[in-house]
Amino acid sequence: MRIVMIGSGYVGLVSGACLAALGHDVVCVDKSRDKIEALQAGKVPIYEPGLEMVIADNCAAGRLSFSGDLVGPVAAADAVFIAVGTPSRLVDGHADLSHVYAAAREIAAAATGFTVVVTKSTVPVGTGDEIERIFREEFPQKDIAVVSNPEFLREGAAISDFRRPDRIVVGSDDERSTELMRDIYEALDLKEMPLYFCERRTAELIKYASNAFLAMKITFINEMADLCEELGADVQKVAKGMGMDRRIGDKFLQAGPGFGGSCFPKDTLALVKTAQDYDRPLKLIETTVAINENRKRAMGRRVIAACDGSVRGKRIGVLGLTFKPNTDDMREAPSIAIIRTLLDGGADVHVYDPAGMEAARAVLGAVKYRRNAYEVAEGADAIVLVTEWDQFKSLDLPRLKDLMKSPVVVDLRNVFDEDEMIGHGFQLVPLGKRPRSAYPARTLFHAVPPELAWNPLL
């Protein structure tokens, strides 16, 4: 099949490369000349484990190429995927669809013969209908169908998520498109092909509903973590006991500083807005959004509480900046709010992340960038672990302690083993359980005072 992928970002590049690996002829298009030139030179502009090899192999096989021009590739294409960004509109939190509609018009103008336009980007329910209206009214002579095929790729695991999907959702309202989409994905050659066909609007909502539910599930265990600290329970054990129930499942029950990334924050907000527009407010998701935003801020105050209530003039080390491990993505990362609170409190903040340092420079304030965890620990009054990169799980603890001015470690991902840390003389502040080390007798101030509670929806 001849496929064009419009947008060569996290979703477009992975989807395009993996579709080429299925044997299709794929052209990834992007308006950024720099990005296209980098890709044509064999450089991959995003951090995604395994992607570089998939791209290299399929470029070498002649199945994958990159272009700044979409006219030629679209004219020859059977299917054109739209994988451009749909960021939150700052003014009202709705998804900004300007890039989607611009791409749709350019595709229609260039299309020849029957062409399926596939929305791969996460788009609000009804976007496919609007694109179809544009085609019908502005390009009546073109034979184009519109299909929804939302992505369910996790950054850092995107290639395996593409190759072994739990489901491939296809929202199609006509037979020709359905058959073409089946042909595209049949090549996955999975025993149980998880192709799920439904109406287009249903497919669009499945994406939002899935992300909103996962975000709510994470927020649920984060609230349980706070309660555990008061009750003297252990949130990791609560999560394990819950997850043994197959109806609940053990995934996405890891308590942390709040969810970040380019999807959950944006998609939960967009879904809330859509529901409000239809006068069917989603109170559960509205609350999820508010709790999550406040939690990220509260984590900074948690570090301050662990430093006798003030970090003014103190050196605080931050391990991990990206919104999750195995990515370089800083979008909505909890570290941003945490570091802002520490800087506002007068701390001297030193940071390290295995992959996110360059992206962090664009969003963090006056922090000091160090080359590794041990430099971050040098003279530190406290260290806070924000992102659970594997390399932080095997640190030389005696060396770390010797480097620190005071051995206080605030672990926001429960990466460290309490017994081990206490054995090495650390004062460990875990998440969702009462600190056992010789921790200054002070309740952890992480409840959000009413005057500080921020609700992005009000």
Annotated binding site for substrate: 152-155, 207, 252-256, 260, 324
| Closer of 44 and 77 to ligand UDX (Cβ) | 44
| Closer of 147 and 400 to ligand UDX (Cβ) | 147
Among 63, 324, 350, 433, binds ligand UDX (CB under 6 A): 324
Contact 338, 384 (CB under 8 A): yes
**Minimal distance in Å, beta carbon 448 to ligand UDX?**
18
**Minimal distance in Å, beta carbon 381 to ligand UDX?**
26
**Minimal distance in Å, beta carbon 110 to ligand UDX?**
28
Residues 106-145, one symbol each (x = binds ligand UDX by CB under 6 A, - = not), give ----------------------------------------
Residue 251 CA to chain centroid, in angstroms? Answer: 16
User: Cα separation of 179 and 145, whole Å?
Assistant: 12
| Closer of 103 and 235 to ligand UDX (Cβ) | 235
User: Cα separation of 394 and 256, whole Å?
Assistant: 19
Query: Of 247, 333, 302, which is closest to residue 447 (Cα–Cα)?
Result: 302
| Closer of 206 and 347 to ligand UDX (Cβ) | 206
Point out the annotated binding site for NAD(+).
Answer: 30, 35, 86, 122, 155, 266, 331
Point out the annotated binding site.
Answer: 30, 35, 86, 122, 152-155, 207, 252-256, 260, 266, 324, 331
| Closer of 240 and 399 to ligand UDX (Cβ) | 240
> Stretches 93-101, 149-157, 268-276, 442-450: which one binds ligand UDX (CB under 6 A)?
149-157
Helices (H), 331-434: 334-344, 357-361, 373-377, 397-403, 418-423
Residue 443 neighbours by CB under 8 Å, 6+ apart? none
Contact 134, 163 (CB under 8 A): no
| Closer of 36 and 235 to ligand UDX (Cβ) | 235
In the DSSP assignment, the letter for residue 391 is: G
User: Which residue has 């890709």 as its token pair?
Assistant: 39
Residues 263-292, one symbol each (x = binds ligand UDX by CB under 6 A, - = not), give xx----------------------------
**Minimal distance in Å, beta carbon 316 to ligand UDX?**
21
User: Cα separation of 341 and 301, whole Å?
Assistant: 7
Among 47, 208, 323, 389, binds ligand UDX (CB under 6 A): 323
Among 99, 154, 163, 340, binds ligand UDX (CB under 6 A): 154
Residue numbers 248-267 binding ligand UDX by CB under 6 A: 252-254, 256, 259-261, 263-264
**Minimal distance in Å, beta carbon 323 to ligand UDX?**
4
**Minimal distance in Å, beta carbon 24 to ligand UDX?**
21
Q: What values do phi and psi take at 322, rounded to 5?
A: -65, 160
Instruction: Supply the DSSP string of 178-204, one letter for each residue.
Output: HHHHHHHHHTT--SS--EEEE-HHHHH
**Which of the residues are catalytic?**
263
Strands, sheet with 315-319, edge to edge from the N-terminal-most edge strand: 368-369, 348-352, 315-319, 382-385, 408-411, 427-429
Give the H/E segment covering residue 209.
helix 200-231
Among 101, 139, 152, 439, binds ligand UDX (CB under 6 A): 152
User: Cα separation of 321 and 353, whole Å?
Assistant: 6
Contact 420, 397 (CB under 8 A): yes
User: Cα separation of 360 and 290, whole Å?
Assistant: 24
User: Cα separation of 70 and 182, whole Å?
Assistant: 24
C-alpha radius of gyration, the chain, whole number: 24
| Closer of 260 and 356 to ligand UDX (Cβ) | 260
Query: Of 107, 125, 116, 102, which is closest to residue 147 (Cα–Cα)?
Result: 116
Q: How many residues bind ligand UDX (CB under 6 A)?
A: 19
Show the CA angle centred on residue 173, arms to residues 147 and 27, nearest 5°.
Answer: 20
211 binds ligand UDX (CB under 6 A): yes
Query: Of 189, 195, 193, 157, which is closest to residue 177 (Cα–Cα)?
Result: 195
| Closer of 8 and 121 to ligand UDX (Cβ) | 121
Residues 214-253, one symbol each (x = binds ligand UDX by CB under 6 A, - = not), give x---x---------------------------------xx
**Minimal distance in Å, beta carbon 413 to ligand UDX?**
8
> Stretches 46-54, 147-155, 277-285, 432-440: which one binds ligand UDX (CB under 6 A)?
147-155
**Minimal distance in Å, beta carbon 364 to ligand UDX?**
17
Residues that bind ligand UDX (CB under 6 A): 151-155, 211, 214, 218, 252-254, 256, 259-261, 263-264, 323-324
